[in-house]
Amino acid sequence: NGNRYEGEWKNDEKDGQGIYIFADGGRYEGEFKNDLMTGNGKRVYKDGEIYEGNWKDNELDGHGTYIEANGNRYEGEWKNDEFDGHGTYIWVDGTRYEGEWKNDEKDGQGIYIFADGGRYEGEFKNDLMTGNGKRVYKDGEIYEGNWK
């Protein structure tokens, strides 16, 4: 299949430290358990995106940092290859969100800082400002209340 592995083996499975080079040019360097990327490791994808952090059964799981090819980055908690738990996402234009995530969406308490310097602090649901929150606009105007 064109993939290549160099590293430790146990019972004919990748187990321990190793380097896995994918046929597409991507690469993973880190821990394996029962033939799967599990533990701490770094993966460089074929498009230049990079993930460094915890893995479980070939999925991003635990704490880690993901840098997209366009420069956007996420640092925080993962579960089943999705943002899940506390984390910070920073866009290259300066926009930033720090708070709770669930299933790859902003969900729970968080702070969203807009590229223009305005900000929203409060509740998020399904990736949207929903619930109690405070929005401070770049001109200083403030709206505090319930967002829908």
Kindly report, residue by residue over 49-83, the tens digit of the pLDDT. Answer: 999 999 999 999 999 999 999 999 999 999 999 99
Same domain? 54 vs 112: no
Number of domains, the chain: 2
47 and 80 fall within a common domain: no
Query: Which residue, 41, 62, 61, is CA-closest to 52?
Result: 41
Token digits for 86?
A: 């506390």
139 and 113 within one domain: yes
Task: Report pTM.
Answer: 0.93
With a cut of 90, say whether residue 1 has pLDDT above it. Answer: no
DSSP state of 80: T
Domain carrying residue 76: 70-148
